[in-house]
Each structure stands twice: as C-alpha cells, then as structure tokens.
C-alpha cells in the first residue's frame, strides 16, 4: 500500500480509501500500450491485477491474471485501470471511446419569470409572517425550481437538501449575529474579539457550506461531493488573502487562484474529481483589466466633472457596472474553460457586451419596479448562463453517470464528510 501511494503520489488517507473498498476506478481512456504499462507497474509492486471489459464485444470479455498479462492480445482499444477485488488487487477495464463520440452539449434553462414570481412572492410573504423561519423552506423551493429547470443532455439537476437542516444552520448563524451585536453595543472589546473569532472560523464555514451544497446537488441520480480539508481551507481563505493585504494587493490575484484550485479541485461528481488547469497569470490579467477600467473611468469622471458636474456620478456608476461585468465575464470564462471532469471538459463563452446589457437592464428594471422585477432578473441571468456554458462530452454521459453510480455503490456511499447543516454559503 505504501509503494502504491508513492507510485501515484497519494496520501495515506487516499490509499486507505482505494484499498478499503472492493472496486475503485483509477484510470480511464487508456490505449492498450498504456494500460499494459500500468498493469506492469501495479503487478511490480505486488498488486493482483486483472483486465476486464467495460464495453465487451460479442465474445466473452478477456480476463487476465497477473501471470497472463504479458500474453494479452494487442487489441487496439482504449483502456481504463481500476482497483478491485479487495486490498492488494487492481483491475484494468477497456472503455472504448471513438474520437467522433465527442459532443458539444449546451445547458438548457426552461424556467420563466412569471412561474418563479409566484414562488418568490409566496416565499417572501411566508418569510415575513413566520419572522424568517420559513426562509429555509423558501431556499429549498427556490433551489429546486432552478435546479429542476436546468438541464444537460436532456436530464434535469436535483436539489436534495432538507429544509430542517438549513433552518438549523440559519438559527446558529442568527444566534452568532445577535451575540456579536449585543457585545459590540455593550462590551466593545468583546465585540472585537468575536469579530476576530468569526474571521478565524470563516474557512471552516466555507468547507462545511461547500460540502453541504455539493452533497445535496445531483444529476442522473448521482450526487456531487466536496472533499476539501480544513487545513488547506485556512491557507487559501485566510493565509493567502492576509499575505495579499500585507503586500499591498500584489498577492490577491494569486490568492484567488489558490481559492479556485481548492474549490474546483476538491469537488467531484460521484467519485470522479473535477480538475482545474488555470494558471495564476490568468488571474493577474483579470486584475490588470479591472484596474485599467477603474483608472480610466476615474480619469474620465474627473475630466468631465470639471465641465459637467452632474454627469460625474453617472460615469462613476457606469464604471462600477463595467468593472463588475468585466470581472464576472473574465472569471466565469476562466473557471469553466479550465475545468475538466475526467475526459469531459466544461466551456463558457460569456461576452462583455451581452452580459453588461443583461446586467444593466436587470438593474434598471428592478429599480423602476421597486424590486418586483427580481424574479424575472434571476431567470434571465440563469437563462444567459445556460446559453453560454456547455460541456464537451467524451462519449455517452448516460454511461458515465451509470459508471459513477456503480462506483459510489461499490465504495459504500460517499467518500468524504457529509455535513448536516447549511451555514449560508
């Protein structure tokens, strides 16, 4: 087990997960030569290895014991490696994937503003009547509406959270807020201590919130998951931002890079992890673009205000909206275009012009209707996201989801902690 961990660069905890379950896929979509190379490495460290077919031909699939691995016929089909059969065993599984199976799939959003308005107004009124207690059920109803109307490859997403668990988390958060407000009012020093305490537990809250959200999100009967560790969360959400502050902002883009690595890289679908391949330099480019727009807008406001003082505030507002739109577009494209799930790749093509127009019209409509346009604005934003985010699928997603269901069942449920409260993340 130790040599296996060293070979694949795994921690002792990860090795225990692999060897503690009857079957865990290690590698997919390998050609025969690479599959044989993995078989040789695994048998070389003492693991019992066999070769099984995922998509067998008409004939009975060939099963190879370690001694017969070298005699395997050189069938030109891709392979996948999986551990199976208990501790000390591994299985290599052919998974035939032709190049023409790669498909560009777009997300769909089928909701409409009037439908969501009815949900939203009922949620709002019941939240007021129940002094906020109904807000937990309101969140579940809202999430289920948006998840249920978001579709990929013809299948909707699911939101599975229990409102009572959300209510528990919100009561805890509310109690903490009340304690802080009272302390700040009557014992200012205690208020400062509590504020520092809240900052100190923020990474823990982030991990719990992400774990809760992912665990209660599913597609085709397979839940998502989050396996981030508390120690790493303290580095990316506390240490690196603090270093950014101490370096006058120079390390803030790098802190954002590390945060995206942590959030995306520790997320998974079933047991298949997401991967983030973005570079730190991409985040510095976003920061430079935002600084450039802010500087240009400030300079323009200063020049125009000398001649037309009343126009200055409008330029300031326009600059702020442009900065928000630009950062959202660049960050969204960066995150999705550098995220993969196994052999599948996410992609996004947000555009500054169309997104800025969407944001501007939503803001104006919400302001002119005193907030009543909010449901339509939320639906329009969700529809824009679905139209500009897609998935380059390598093969049949139905088979991929089925494989994840099998693997989750094989490992006896979810890998990682499952938390029972939602703390508002």
Q: Which two tokens stand for residue 37?
A: 């190379």
Strands 389-394 and 344-348: antiparallel
Strands 339-341 and 79-84: unpaired
Three-class SS string for 219-236? ECCEEEEECCCHHHHHHH
Identify the sign of the CA torsion 62, 66, 70, 71: negative
Is residue 412 over pLDDT 50?
no
- Could you read off the pLDDT of 263-321 as tens digits, one per residue? 999 999 998 999 999 999 999 999 999 999 999 998 988 888 878 888 888 889 899 99
Q: Which residues in 140-165 are b (16+ Cβ under 10 Å) and which e?
A: bbbbbbbbebbbbbeeebbbebebeb
DSSP one-letter code for 252 = H
Cα 166 to Cα 161, 170, 330, distances in angstroms: 8, 6, 32
Query: Whole-prediction pTM value?
Result: 0.72
Phi, psi of 229 (to 5 degrees): -100, 150
Beta-bridged to residue 223, according to DSSP, are 218
Residue-averaged pLDDT of the chain: 82
From the list 163, 223, 177, 184, the residue with the least C-alpha distance to 421 is 163
User: First and final CA of the chain: distance in angstroms?
Assistant: 37
Question: What pLDDT, on the 0 to 100 scale, is given for residue 345?
Answer: 95
- Could you read off the pLDDT of 183-204 as tens digits, one per residue? 888 888 888 898 898 889 889 8
Question: Whole-angstrom Cα distance, residue 20 to residue 278?
Answer: 33
Question: What pLDDT, on the 0 to 100 scale, is given for residue 19?
Answer: 74
Q: Which residue has the higher pLDDT, 412 or 194?
A: 194
- What is the band of 65 on the pLDDT scale with cuts at 50, 70, 90? very low
Question: What pLDDT, on the 0 to 100 scale, is given for residue 58?
Answer: 39
Question: What pLDDT, on the 0 to 100 scale, is given for residue 83?
Answer: 54
Q: Which two tokens stand for residue 393?
A: 């699928």
Question: Whole-angstrom Cα distance, residue 425 to residue 422?
Answer: 7
Place of tokens 């300079």: 299
Q: Which two tokens stand for residue 7?
A: 């070979």
- What is the band of 51 on the pLDDT scale with cuts at 50, 70, 90? confident
């Amino acid at each position: 087990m130790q040599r296996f961990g060293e070979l694949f660069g795994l921690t002792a905890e990860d090795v225990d997960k692999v060897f503690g379950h009857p079957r865990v896929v290690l590698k997919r979509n390998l050609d025969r030569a690479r599959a044989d190379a993995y078989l040789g490495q695994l048998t070389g460290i003492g693991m019992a290895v066999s070769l099984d077919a995922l998509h067998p031909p008409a004939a009975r699939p060939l099963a190879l014991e370690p001694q017969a691995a070298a005699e395997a016929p050189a069938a030109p089909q891709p392979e996948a490696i999986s551990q199976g059969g208990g501790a000390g065993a591994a299985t290599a599984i052919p998974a035939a994937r032709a190049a023409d199976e790669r498909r560009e799939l777009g997300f769909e959003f089928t909701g409409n503003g009037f439908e969501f308005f009815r949900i939203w107004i009922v949620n709002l009124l019941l939240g007021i009547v129940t002094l906020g207690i109904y807000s937990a059920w309101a969140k579940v109803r809202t999430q289920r509406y948006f998840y249920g109307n978001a579709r990929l490859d013809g299948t909707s997403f699911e939101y599975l959270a229990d409102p009572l668990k959300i209510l528990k988390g919100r009561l805890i958060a509310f109690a903490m807020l009340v304690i802080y407000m009272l302390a700040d009012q009557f014992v200012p020093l205690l208020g400062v201590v509590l504020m520092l305490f809240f900052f100190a537990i923020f990474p823990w809250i982030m991990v719990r919130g992400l774990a809760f959200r992912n665990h209660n999100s599913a597609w085709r009967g397979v839940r998502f998951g989050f396996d981030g560790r508390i120690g790493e969360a303290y580095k990316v959400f506390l240490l690196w931002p603090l270093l950014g502050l101490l370096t006058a902002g120079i390390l803030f883009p790098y802190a954002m890079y590390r945060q995206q690595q942590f959030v995306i890289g520790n997320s998974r679908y079933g047991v298949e992890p997401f991967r983030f391949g973005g570079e730190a330099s991409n985040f510095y480019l976003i920061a430079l673009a935002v600084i450039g727009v802010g500087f240009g807008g400030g300079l323009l406001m200063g020049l125009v205000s000398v001649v037309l003082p009343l126009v200055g505030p409008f330029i300031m507002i326009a600059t702020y909206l442009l900065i928000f739109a630009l950062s959202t577009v660049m960050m969204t494209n960066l995150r999705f275009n550098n995220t993969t799930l196994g052999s599948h790749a996410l992609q996004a093509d947000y555009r500054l012009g169309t997104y800025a127009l969407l944001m501007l019209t939503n803001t104006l409509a919400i302001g002119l209707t005193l907030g009543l346009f909010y449901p339509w604005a939320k639906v329009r934003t969700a529809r824009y996201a679905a139209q500009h985010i897609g998935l380059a699928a390598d093969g049949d997603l139905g088979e991929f989801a089925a494989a994840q269901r099998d693997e989750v069942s094989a490992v006896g449920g979810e890998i990682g902690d499952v938390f029972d409260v939602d703390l508002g993340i």
